[in-house]
Structure 1
């Protein structure tokens, strides 16, 4: 006889959301997890570059009009949740920055959908990925088991109760953590970082040697080593003046090949991490290949090749989870990225002038794009010429 609760339920095969909870060992000897990966400054900067930018862009609910135009659906309950305040504790920026960072680090971001009696979404409560287990039921439906961080009690949520943001997925159910995919490379970066920290703790590096023509016993060598380390080893003793006796001489050393290679590996690790997140190195303060002339194009590249994936993820996931099939025929969700693509003032002026001259842009619309106050009758002359 089978127990009632022995009904077959399977965890998604090779569930990356579960695997990301367990620090993975690497050949470098250090475990890699989303937590310690963020101690790498480039990882933190890449995550922040994407999460902060996505969170600061307005996420707008639009309504399709009969004539093909679109207008902001500011009277819809979901508009406030997406644009202003998703829950009582967070602003829209804080909420979207948090979930975007979760996806970048853990591969998945979750939020519980709260609805009123009429079925309108009134709040989105974030859930940390480490507290979520994704199960696929025999019926094919998805269930999210959410563990309470304080009590450990687990409560189930069905798919229509969860806003689920995913990175690339192999099974259509859970996203893959980029940290886990690149754990070998990140383990090497962490090992290099630890090596540097230990070197600084022991006095930065081997900057010289003590030498003498006299014969020293093992006891004398041990006593000299202990005395030297106690007085001059460590960053707290940096800069002290050494007094030598009994024929001792200090021979300074230049930077060794090992030191030079370590610095090169640290610089190369910046590019390696940037490849994982597809972030231009200039955005994480690596200015070796940057100049003022290519800064605008770098910004456009960032929007087109990096942000587009994450912006589309938010838009499509929100439409699927927060709007019903009937509502999706009339409403849609979209970011406003115009501010990122406008470029400098000279390029914007040329763009507006070309649009106004060609007749597909009005002066009033250009002023709106620049957040300038309206001027009554500014378009009258252009409309009269067109007539």
Structure 2
């Protein structure tokens, strides 16, 4: 297996139609699930339509995303990158006011002295302040959602655990693009000839 097979990033993997379809199916399905909030009353449990989470489902968790869009993006981040970060936005009185998804590529995990974990987020597009501005969020200000972790801190994506298979699929797909007569074996199975070289011999 070539060294390149051990480093498959999310953008490259999404070039595989099967990967994209699976991510869209899982993220879309989980993102569209409703969140029911209940309150206790003298008559028993009753759905709390006035709760901030119920309001967010109707009007959106922030100014840029609907409820399904936010959670779909978070689930896709978990599947493709291993972790997702959602900021819990509060108003001046400490009440829940919104949720904000931060793309994992804009997040840096920092372990502070004493062992506390913080998250440095970069607002690349300027959606929540000046473009390029960096903020530090503490653990009680976010929800860090992660896939199975190897260190207990950062999730590891399914793609990285199956990097060899994903890399082989990418290389096979590239060979299909380069050869006019149909699919060819991946280059790592025939190291003496690249895909382009084989295409030129047909």
Say which one has the larger Rg: 1
Q: 1:153 to 1:71 in 2, by over 3 A?
A: same
What does residue 274 of structure 1 align with? none
What does residue 20 of structure 2 align with? 44
Does 1:27 pair with 2:7?
no
1:45-66: per-residue Cα shift (whole Å, max 9, x none)?
1111111111122112222446
**Partner residue of 1:77 out of 49, 52, 55:** 52
Q: 2:57, 2:66 within 8 Å by CA — same for their partners in 1?
A: no
1:49-97: per-residue Cα shift (whole Å, max 9, x none)?
1111111221122224466x43211122232125541011111111111
**Partner residue of 2:175 out of 187, 191, 195:** 195
Look up the SS of the partner of 2:37 in the other structure. Answer: strand
For the aligned residue pairs, the C-alpha RMSD in angstroms reads 2.3
What does residue 145 of structure 1 align with? 120
Taking the aligned partners of 1:48 and 1:125, their CA distance within structure 2 comes to 20
**Partner residue of 2:110 out of 130, 135, 140:** 135
1:277-297: per-residue Cα shift (whole Å, max 9, x none)?
xxxxxxxxxxxxxxxxxxxxx
Q: 1:58, 1:83 within 8 Å by CA — same for their partners in 2?
A: no
TM-score between both structures, scaled by the size of structure 1: 0.43
What does residue 101 of structure 1 align with? 76
Does 1:172 pair with 2:152?
yes
Q: 1:134 to 1:29 in 2, by over 3 A?
A: closer
Q: 2:62, 2:99 within 8 Å by CA — same for their partners in 1?
A: yes
Look up the SS of the partner of 1:60 in the other structure. Answer: coil
Q: 1:29 to 1:141 in 2, by over 3 A?
A: closer
How far residue 138 of structure 1 moved from its aligned partner, in angstroms, is 2.1
Where does 1:47-66 land on structure 2 (aligned, <5 Å)?
47-65=23-41
For this pair of structures, how many residues does the alignment match? 180
Is there any run of 5+ residues in structure 1 with no aligned partner, and where? 1-25, 206-257, 263-387
Where does 1:156-235 land on structure 2 (aligned, <5 Å)?
156-199=136-179, 203-205=180-182
Look up the SS of the partner of 1:59 in the other structure. Answer: coil
Q: 2:59, 2:66 within 8 Å by CA — same for their partners in 1?
A: yes
Q: 2:118, 2:138 within 8 Å by CA — same for their partners in 1?
A: yes
Where does 1:300-311 land on structure 2 (aligned, <5 Å)?
none
1:323-362: per-residue Cα shift (whole Å, max 9, x none)?
xxxxxxxxxxxxxxxxxxxxxxxxxxxxxxxxxxxxxxxx
Q: 1:152 to 1:44 in 2, by over 3 A?
A: same
Q: 2:89, 2:141 within 8 Å by CA — same for their partners in 1?
A: yes
Look up the SS of the partner of 1:90 in the other structure. Answer: coil
TM-score between both structures, scaled by the size of structure 2: 0.79
Q: 1:167 to 1:64 in 2, by over 3 A?
A: farther
Larger proportion of strand: 2
Is there any run of 5+ residues in structure 2 with no aligned partner, and where? 126-130, 187-202
Q: 1:138 to 1:107 in 2, by over 3 A?
A: same
